[in-house]
Amino acid sequence: MRKPLFTLIAAGAAVVALASPAAAAPTGDTVVTFTVATANLNISVPAAVNLGSAFAGNTITGELGNVTVTDSRAALNATWTATVNAGAFTTGSGSPEETITPNLIEYWSGPALGTTGTGTFVPGQPSQSDAVTLNQVRVAFSKTSGSGNNSATWAPDIRISIPTTAVGGTYSGVITHSVA
């Protein structure tokens, strides 16, 4: 009978002996690194829009479609300004009677349709009464504070005053949005 008691005690002593060194084991640190990826500051615009038709001496108004700035720079100071300007609208050979100059083209951004990220998003021209002519570069929209990735979408409108001297035809021109 003594033999089993001795074995039991030996087994118990072995358990205690194994547990003590595990608690006293040395520790080690692992340095973990990773990169927050960054990309670019981009702007997307509709490829084309048709405003319909109007007679000479009248105005034609329409929406350009959604304009979106996507800021994937993950910047501490993630501010940007989107600008807009226009070239002349022409038909035929582009004679003076076949040209509508940029000072006859008005633009207003309207409010944001949607934004993501933090910060303050500011429309360049919140309403139609704030419309500006596109004969020079104008601010369309901006982000004035905040950090990290963000985006803003708006649907600007334009109004074109058609001169009484304009000849009939399909006029086309380019409105350019940029972001920096």
| Residue 111 near residue 117 (C-beta atoms within 8 A) | no
Where are the extended beta strands (E) located within 22-137?
41-44, 59-63, 67-71, 80-86, 89-90, 99-100, 105-108, 112-116, 121-123, 132-133
Q: Tell how strand 105-108 and strand 157-161 pair up.
A: antiparallel
CATH node for 41-179: 2.60.40
pTM: 0.81
- Residue 18 predicted with pLDDT over 80: no
Give the pair of three-digit tokens for residue 67. 């304009």
Lowest-pLDDT choice from 16-25, 29-38, 67-76, 158-167: 16-25
Query: 131-141, pLDDT tens digit by residue?
Result: 999 999 999 99
The residue ranges of every structural domain in the chain are 41-179
pLDDT at 47: 96
| Residue 67 near residue 43 (C-beta atoms within 8 A) | yes
Per 3-state DSSP, what percentage of the chain is helix, strand, and coil (rounded to 5)?
Answer: 15, 35, 50
- Calculate what percentage of the chain has a pLDDT beyond 70: 87
pLDDT at 38: 80
- Residue 8 predicted with pLDDT over 70: no
115-116-117 Cα angle (round to 5):
130
- 62: closest CA among 102, 97, 106? 106
